[in-house]
Structure 1
Amino acid sequence: MGLGTRPDGPLPLRMLPFAAMAVISVVDFSAGPSVGYLPLLALGPAFASLFGGVWRTVSVGALAIVLCMLLGAFNDVLGTFRTNLTFVSIGGVTAAGMLAALYRQRRERELADVRSIAEVAQRVLLRPVPRRVGPVRATVRYISAVTGARIGGDLYEVVQTSRGVRVIVGDVQGKGLDAVETAAVVLGAFREAAYDEPDLPGVADRIERTLSRQLGSEQFVTAVLAEVDEREGVRLLNRGHPPPLLIRSDESVSTLDPPEPAPPLGLAVLVDDPAPTDLVDLKPGDQMLLYTDGVIEARDAHGTFYPLTERAGVLSADDPEDAIDGLQSDLLEYTGTPLDDDAAMLLLRRRI
């Protein structure tokens, strides 16, 4: 909860009913009985019900009735039809406000329960990556394009196997719950295949077979699979995904384009030959950034795409966590607005 806020809203909103009734009281006191602003005191409990609870609405309604009695006595209009109608109006608005506040609080509790379930689902689907795994340090950041959401169609995973560290970063075509469901299918297949299959093409084929039972004929998932070996380096398999970025210890930057283009996962039937892998040397201090297209397709106010290669210098921090935080901050500062698409960034740094 932010500074200066409470469950019934920020301070300005909490003070709004009292400010409204104070202004109305001063105006009615100054204008006298000939004008009659007393019915406007019903605005107090009406405003209170928008941001406060049931008892707060009742308290503000009771205060409005007390003010009405005092002003009515001062103007010598107590007992008149207009004053009595004002009491009825305040009571009716207060009662309606109580029901509205009760209904709103119930919906807020339901939303809190749903968010709690979503957080559990997030921890199961997108688990925290181990900070030290094999010869590398790993860190990840995920930015959802959906306000309030913490998960979408982008996916990532890092696992330690007997054949080395295996990694996947992918992006499901489409958005919404269907994309989340497909991401769960891909991650489940990867987590099993990463331990069983002898090489990355075998892992990809296993995911492909699983997706063939899940996706429609025109749906697909772009992904980069990586296998980190302490002696051989990093073997990459790119299935239609943006190429990873290699940042050497001397801060030189290069994109790791695949030796041949390959179709995304789910579209392997379009080609006869399996996708080739590529071997990259990862020396101590070198870094590899795997990401989704939400990063490079983010635009600034002028519609210019985020220049990831040019901005890779922000990853030079000594701690990988600080480095990925710097990249995320730079991306959000560049756009100035929420992203239009989910963005996942996974940074692997070879330990010295």
Structure 2
Amino acid sequence: MRGKFPKLLVKSMKRRNHNKCTDESNIDQENSWKNGDFLRKRIDFPIPSENSLSAGAIIGIVIAVLFTVLLVLSIFWWKGCLRPKDTLEQDLKGLGQHTGIFTLRQIRAATNNFDPANKIGEGGFGPVYKGRLSDGTIIAVKQLSSKSKQGNREFVNEIGMISALQHPHLVKLYGCCIEGNQLLLIYEYMENNSLARALFSQEKYQLKLNNDIHHYNDGTAHYSLKLDWTTRHKICIGIAKGLAYLHEESRLKIVHRDIKATNVLLDKNLNQKISDFGLAKLDEEDNTHISTRIAGTYGYMAPEYDMRGYLTDKADVYSFGVVLLEIVSGRSNTSVKPKEDSFYLLDWVTYYNNFTSIIWYLKITYV
């Protein structure tokens, strides 16, 4: 295509460059327009290299990166690393209608700032302290240990479960406290401590019923527990009633998983109550299931649960049978001697081999 460019278009180009009319480049440009050579000039555009990415590839990479980031954040959230710090506190406030909420100041005042002199035992969560509230109520405070195997979720589960259970043969939960790194459960106080101490300990206790008074050289009077057959029978019946409630009568079917003499507490009237539901297992779906986490005490666990994780309420019945042997025989389930293996009560029963021999042994022991 040849010919002269319209004069109007040429004049327009001159006006656009009126500030540089003396520039040689403008003169060349004018000549090129006049001769029509401008259209024949090669216009060079950058040619995409082989290594450059298409728009679709870039979008795909961005989506993949975003998906990976969201996946990582989801994992951290699931593990609790990114959850709000007040989530546990909000959960506990939701339990307030069933459970009392105590302040840390109240508990510190009640236990004299967790004075070691007020420590009365060690539970599944950590140390247990005796305390007195401002209204005079005696309490037992279970303090969650930072080294405890039980986590915050289990702590909330225990509170929710215990608060829903009310029975004469279960230790009553008054409430809880959560402030900062303090996670506390507040129970009713059991004056005569645990059945294990009553049966096996050589210590003297300040008991108020069925006791013998002993006067010592220091002028103080101490009391030692006397567990006659009537009292032992009452304790056995109490444990059975408590387990029946957990297994059959409560709204939820609950397997305790750690029935033993140290988890059976005695009040001032020697009434028995089951404690420590930190190892309890809710079994809402089936009558039986395989437990992925074995919890309990060796020597008290049923063989099918200990070896295969097969958990039913019969596991508690087995443990209850071991406790019955302890109550009847007056012997601790576990006896460890220097340079010897542990010797359990079931081994002792197997050694005597028949019921008559066991009755003969009991007559020698108690008659």
TM score, norm. by length of structure 2: 0.26
TM score, norm. by length of structure 1: 0.27
Highest Rg: 1 or 2? 2
Q: Using CA pairs below 8 Å that are at least 6 residues apart, which structure has the higher relative contact order?
A: 1
